[in-house]
Amino acid sequence: MNSKEMFFNIGYRDYFNNGLRITYSNFDKECKMIEFDLKKKQLVLADDSEEVFELSLEELQAINQQCRELGWFDE
């Protein structure tokens, strides 16, 4: 299963890729956003509060899969 399918299966229905960033969001459910900055090779995690951002194991697995697909672990 690829990362887009993994994110979709855990509720991240919105996907955006403009060549500079890949963004997954689940604003219909928990108002979370996970964004991959392709140039800086960094993640941006955000939600609708200023509280601690919690990740589920499934979210972490989808993030790791996206990083694998981008080749970030190969460097």
Residue 3 CA: distances (Å) to CA of 40, 48, 58: 19, 23, 11
**What's the pLDDT tens digit per position in 9-49?**
999 989 999 999 999 998 776 788 999 999 999 999 988 87
Q: Strand (E) positions, the chain?
A: 14-17, 21-25, 33-37, 42-46
Cα dihedral sign, 55-42-20-1: negative
With a cut of 80, say whether residue 50 has pLDDT above it: no
